Structure 1
Amino acid sequence: MTDEFAPQRSEDPERDGSAPTSAGLAGQPPQPQPQSLPLPQQSAGSGAGPVLFQPMEPTSGSPWVTSQAAERDGEPVGLGPLAAADSGASGQDGQADEKGQGQDGLARMDPLSIHPRMSSRILCLVFALVCFALAAGVYWLGVRTMDGQSYDDMVWSGLKETLPSWVTALVGFLSVSTTQLSGWPIVAISIALGLISTLVIVVRKRWWLLGQMAAFGVLCFAAACLKLVLPRSQIIYVASTAKNSAPSGHTILATAASIMLLCAVPRVWRAAMALVAGLYSSLVAFSLVAGQWHRPSDVVMSMLLVTGLALLVLVFTRGSGMDRPGERVSSASIQIVSSILITGGIMLSLYGSYVIWQVQPGLGMSTQWAREGAVDSALIIIAALATLGPGLVLAMRQLTASPLSKLGLVGAPPAPPVTVG
């Protein structure tokens, strides 16, 4: 059978430009072939067919030659000249930028590695403002009202007789004075605590924390100078001095030194230092009132100011002011101690305020029946603030120094070694 649709083959295949294909043999129309470029021919006499590919000879500056030469010479090679350039750049600039790049890398992986949570900082600021407001309220009630001046005078004249004998002996030691320096044991112990705090911070290399504590000390000194500018009007006749004595400089010094030690020590010592801070500041406050150096409103105002300033400084915690990543874990001792101190401080403050409310009708006339209640309430409130302040600082220090995150728990991943070329 004759195939009418079979393609007519040309007599001259070179002019036709096509070769028989399997499709043409099967009776199907051939597919058009693309025009190919002429292949390069070998030189005459080689006896070989056309050359399809001819390898390029590498030049002296090509990446392959560079990498091979570097490998023969013992230099690090990874991606040819890129590895060599990278190793050279690491040797020159890696060490200079290592610290900054490390901080940026940690910030990208986990922002909590270089600064605490915003909620923790806001909480510190709110508590600081509350402490400042309470300090202003204590000053106004104790200085600007008749009942407040009468209350201060009752406690000032009757506190020493109500203290236990062992407390009286300790209070007498703390209130020892010389002609040059009043209450030198308080000053000496507080300075020693401050020096220990500074030494601990330097040994731990917490440079940002060192700046925070320096700012804290300056602010506390400025708060102590308020005594020189705050007015006091004598509304009623009182047995104590008519000059203003609020806030108490010795109370500020003692409370600030103990709180500074609380912030300086590592996590495992913070709960113990909070107890030490509460005990020391309460004994100092009792000694100052029992020794008739200060009124109760003076020491209460001072403790509130120092607590507020400490919380204000914690708002700016970051970097080396925090615990190192990999060491940030929850602490059962901090949770237990801070909860007890804060709860106990609040409850004692409320109870002391209730006692003051009970004796308030007899304050204006300085009645004898109100004297015992006034002294008891002062003891309760001083003890309450001596526990509440360190408890708040302990909890906020843990929140700002050790925010819990994956990177904070396990630490930063190991950095690749830097090869110096």
Structure 2
Amino acid sequence: MTDEHTPMQPVIRDPKAPVNLLDDFEETGIVTPETGVSLSDFEDEGALGAEPEELGALGYVDPLNVRPRTSSRVLCLVFGVLLLVLAGVAWWLGVCTQNGQSYDDMVESSFSSIVPGWVSAVLGVGTHPMVLIVSTIIAVGAVAIAVVRKRWWLLGQMAVFAVLCFCMSLLKYVLPRPFIIKTVIDNAHNSAPSGHTILAMASAAMLVLAVPRVWRWLASLVAMAWGLFVGLSVVCGKWHRPTDAVMSMLIVAGLALIVLACTRTSGMDALGTRRSSAGVQIVASVAITAGLFATAFAGYVIWQVIPGLTVSAAWANTDSVYSSMMLIAGVDATVFGLLSATRQLTASPLSKTGLVGEPPAPPRSRG
């Protein structure tokens, strides 16, 4: 019997010997069932770090090479719509109710006098030109990163996202502000949503979307800090009411998640660099948990001060101001924690065949 017709003998492995599955896969050469192409062939060509289009040309087909998991896209879409609905709820509570108008007016008129002097001084740095210049620098930096990484689909996503955010900022001139009570701050014109907050949040969100996996957690922290600073600055400077800032944060986050649901090919991390990120897991988990607790506690405090709002009680001033700060901080942390997690899900999905291919299968019979 020739070697060609010699049946394959099973390999008996010593159960006490160390096992290196990666070496085993490389030796045997795993064949994908869709194409019959060995993954070791791709390694010889250096294709593990190649773009999805290049792998497609070699014959390797995996749905997760060209788009995130369906569950991740649905998750982005559901949370994005939910955040936009919450933005509408925030506007209605702050603008269309007596307690909401009283709360916003009390916070805006007494914010700078209640917070410590150093806090007011730090927030006072956030002038109109400063917010515009820094936000523009962040946005341009995000675009530059996407260009250097050759993430052309992501650039398109970012362009659509920027246009949508700009359109949403124009709602300030469309949404009504009914006259319910007489307030200290001018009540004649609607100020929701805050254009400055939308600009700052949008530029920060673009940074989170653009950076590679290893910098994603750090970009999320920078985005949170910048969003919080501008959100509090517009209230301290009496440019906007607390509701305006909260509404703007929710709008930007909702739009960003909906845009992420459309992620494809070059909007994702390159093959061979897709890994889980401990930094993103920690930052996103802590931010979402702390943000939800802060938001819930702020809501509880607001509910407690409602009796003092209609009569402008002095005892309600302090609690109103600090609850507004906690509310803005809580929403800011929650939305950027959620954005960081969903960006990781859409940018670095593991291949359906894993990092090295499918598990080895018994040899087929040649009969």
Could you tell me how far 1:197 is from its partner in structure 2? 0.5
Return closer, same or farther for 1:165/1:367 CA change in 2, 3 Å cut-off: closer
Q: Which runs of 5+ in 1 are unaligned?
A: 1-98, 176-182, 412-421
Select which of 197, 203, 217 maps to 2:162. 217
Alignment match, 1:316: 262
- Residues 213 and 260 in structure 1, CA contact (< 8 A), matched pair in contact too: yes
* 1:260 and 2:206 matched: yes
Name the CA distance, whole Å, in 1 between partners of 2:274 and 2:313. Answer: 56
Alignment match, 2:70: 118
Name the CA distance, whole Å, in 2 between partners of 1:163 and 1:365. Answer: 22
Is the partner of 1:347 in helix, strand or coil? helix
Alignment match, 2:182: 237
Deviations 1:11-40 (A, max 9, x none): xxxxxxxxxxxxxxxxxxxxxxxxxxxxxx
Alignment match, 1:376: 322
* 1:170 and 2:122 matched: yes
- Residues 52 and 270 in structure 2, CA contact (< 8 A), matched pair in contact too: no
Alignment match, 1:152: 104
Return closer, same or farther for 1:135/1:322 CA change in 2, 3 Å cut-off: same
Deviations 1:105-156 (A, max 9, x none): 6896321111001100111011111111111001001110111000000000
Alignment match, 1:204: 149
* 1:298 and 2:298 matched: no
* 1:186 and 2:138 matched: no
User: How many residue pairs get matched?
Assistant: 308
Is the partner of 1:212 in helix, strand or coil? helix
Return closer, same or farther for 1:105/1:361 CA change in 2, 3 Å cut-off: farther
Could you tell me how far 1:159 is from its partner in structure 2? 1.2
Could you tell me how far 1:357 is from its partner in structure 2? 1.1
Could you tell me how far 1:163 is from its partner in structure 2? 2.6
- Residues 305 and 316 in structure 2, CA contact (< 8 A), matched pair in contact too: yes
Larger Rg: 1
Structure number with greater CO (CA < 8 Å, separation at least 6) is 2
Alignment match, 1:129: 81
Select which of 131, 134, 143 maps to 2:95. 143
Could you tell me how far 1:204 is from its partner in structure 2? 0.4
Name the CA distance, whole Å, in 2 between partners of 1:111 and 1:356. Answer: 48
TM-score under structure 2 length normalisation: 0.80
Sequence identity, in percent? 52
Name the CA distance, whole Å, in 1 between partners of 2:355 and 2:309. Answer: 56
Q: Which runs of 5+ in 2 are unaligned?
A: 1-50, 358-367
What is the 5 A alignment of 1:14-413?
102=54, 104=56, 109-175=61-127, 183-242=128-187, 243-405=189-351, 409-410=355-356
Return closer, same or farther for 1:408/1:173 CA change in 2, 3 Å cut-off: farther
Could you tell me how far 1:103 is from its partner in structure 2? 6.0
Name the CA distance, whole Å, in 2 between partners of 1:370 and 1:173. Answer: 27
State the AA in 2 paired with 1:271.
W
State the AA in 2 paired with 1:268.
V
